Amino acid sequence: MRGRRMLVVCFAFAAGAITGVLAARERRARKHDELRTDLDRRRERGEAPGAVRLSVVVPAYNEERIGHAVHRLREGLLKFSEEGGLEIVVVDDGSHDGTADLAEAAGADVVIRQPVNRGKGSAVRAGMLAARGRTIAFTDADLSYSPDQIGNLLQEVEDGWDVVVGSRRHTDAVELVREGRLREIGSRGINILTKFVLLGEHHDTQCGLKAFRSDVARLIFRHSHVDGFAFDVEVFHLVERYKLSLREVPVRVENQSRSTVHVARDAARLVRDLFRIRSWDLQGVYELDPSEQRLPEASRSDPAGESRRGAAQ
């Protein structure tokens, strides 16, 4: 008799657990559908605030070729300098080799010097909050993404998207130089791990080319906390949480052999920060204060079900 009761209890427990899992999956599916509706629709918010048309933020750590990068950006974005204004912001993340001096000598409009090396996320945050552009983009100091591609993201932002991100996994993306096998595996592994934090199907969270409306950039980076490479995932999380629109675009990649990224070490730190993002979210760290300045009210310009986000491999 006791054995039969235990069997009944076990079956009841299993049935309850299965029901709970199915209910959780259904809730997640509903949230995912609602999220895709928010992400995939442009907003007509009017012109973003800012003194110049475009700011480009370049985080740099011991980048001896930062002068070359500033010159290439200036030349490649000359059109936007003449049509609305261009600002180049270099953030020296505690370098030891004169990176900041080289950036100033090359003509960067703003050079921010961080006294110690805190990480890419910290450097990008400092630059994004200091930039004066109506659209603010950031790109890697090695210019793996040619400057002309920043113009493509700028156009998408000006067309009404809150956030525009490059995607190396887009079906139309091009790799002129293939990245190392270890880095490729690591990048794909990171995208799998981000499902722990993100609801949306984002194909490439770690691409180093992203652009934002200025007011959206300030909303996101005022509330970001991650200093390391997981800051990209935190950005996507805040886009989802604040119900912003997001557009993925293909990029043309020139992967540089020289890099300040150490795959194994940074992967461990990224996993740690993913858990932090999840924990902060549950603790309400990302909640907006009711007194905060809100984004301009937006009308949704794309019809239901019409998505402009690219397919990915």
What are the pLDDT digits (tens) for 33-73? 455 556 777 878 889 999 999 999 999 999 999 999 999 99
**Which CATH number covers residue 278?**
3.90.550.10
Coil/strand/helix, residue 270: helix
pLDDT at 87: 98
Residue 257 within any structural domain of the chain: yes
Residue 298 within any structural domain of the chain: no
> Which residues make beta-bridge pairs with 56?
88, 137
- Kindly tell me if the per-residue pLDDT of 158 is higher than 50: yes
pLDDT at 191: 65
* Residues 217, 129: Cα–Cα separation, whole Å: 8
Residue 273 within any structural domain of the chain: yes
Residue 260 within any structural domain of the chain: yes
Catalogue the E-assigned strands of the chain. Answer: 43-44, 52-60, 86-93, 110-114, 133-138, 163-167, 174-177, 210-213, 246-250, 252-254, 299-300
pLDDT at 36: 52
* Residues 155, 237: Cα–Cα separation, whole Å: 24
Q: Please state, rounded to an integer, the average pLDDT across all residues of the chain.
A: 82
Characterize 37-71 residue by residue with b for buried, 16 or more Cβ atoms within 10 angstroms of its Cβ, and e for exposed. Answer: ebbbbbbebeebebebbbbbbbbbbbbebbbebbe
Give me the domain span that covers residue 203: 48-292
Residue 22 within any structural domain of the chain: no
Residue 27 within any structural domain of the chain: no
Residue 146 within any structural domain of the chain: yes
pLDDT at 22: 41
Range name among 18-32, 195-209, 277-291 with the lowest pLDDT average:
18-32
**Which band of pLDDT confidence, cut at 50, 70 and 90, is reported for residue 1?**
low
Whose CA is closest to 160, among 53, 48, 42? 42
The structural domain count of the chain equals: 1
* Residues 119, 136: Cα–Cα separation, whole Å: 20
Range name among 136-150, 152-166, 261-275, 277-291 with the lowest pLDDT average:
261-275
Quote the tokens at residue 67.
């002068």
Quote the tokens at residue 189.
């592994």
**Which band of pLDDT confidence, cut at 50, 70 and 90, is reported for residue 186?**
low
What are the pLDDT digits (tens) for 2-37? 556 665 555 555 555 445 434 444 444 444 445 555
Whose CA is closest to 285, among 230, 231, 238? 238
pLDDT at 192: 73
- Kindly tell me if the per-residue pLDDT of 309 is higher than 50: no
CB 134 within 8 A of CB 214: yes
CB 138 within 8 A of CB 59: yes
What are the pLDDT digits (tens) for 86-145? 999 999 999 999 999 999 999 999 999 999 999 999 999 999 999 999 999 999 999 999
- Kindly tell me if the per-residue pLDDT of 282 is higher than 90: yes
**Which band of pLDDT confidence, cut at 50, 70 and 90, is reported for residue 312?**
very low
Quote the tokens at residue 225.
């906390």
Residue 38 within any structural domain of the chain: no
∠ CA 191-65-128 to the nearest 5 degrees? 55
pLDDT at 102: 97
| Mean pLDDT for the stretch of residues 153-177 | 82
Contacts of 226 (CB under 8 A, 6+ apart): 121, 233, 234, 273, 276, 277
- Kindly tell me if the per-residue pLDDT of 304 is higher than 50: no
| Mean pLDDT for the stretch of residues 269-293 | 88
∠ CA 302-213-211 to the nearest 5 degrees? 95
* Residues 230, 208: Cα–Cα separation, whole Å: 12
**Which band of pLDDT confidence, cut at 50, 70 and 90, is reported for residue 74?**
very high
What are the pLDDT digits (tens) for 227-263? 998 999 999 999 999 999 999 999 988 765 455 556 5
pLDDT at 17: 45
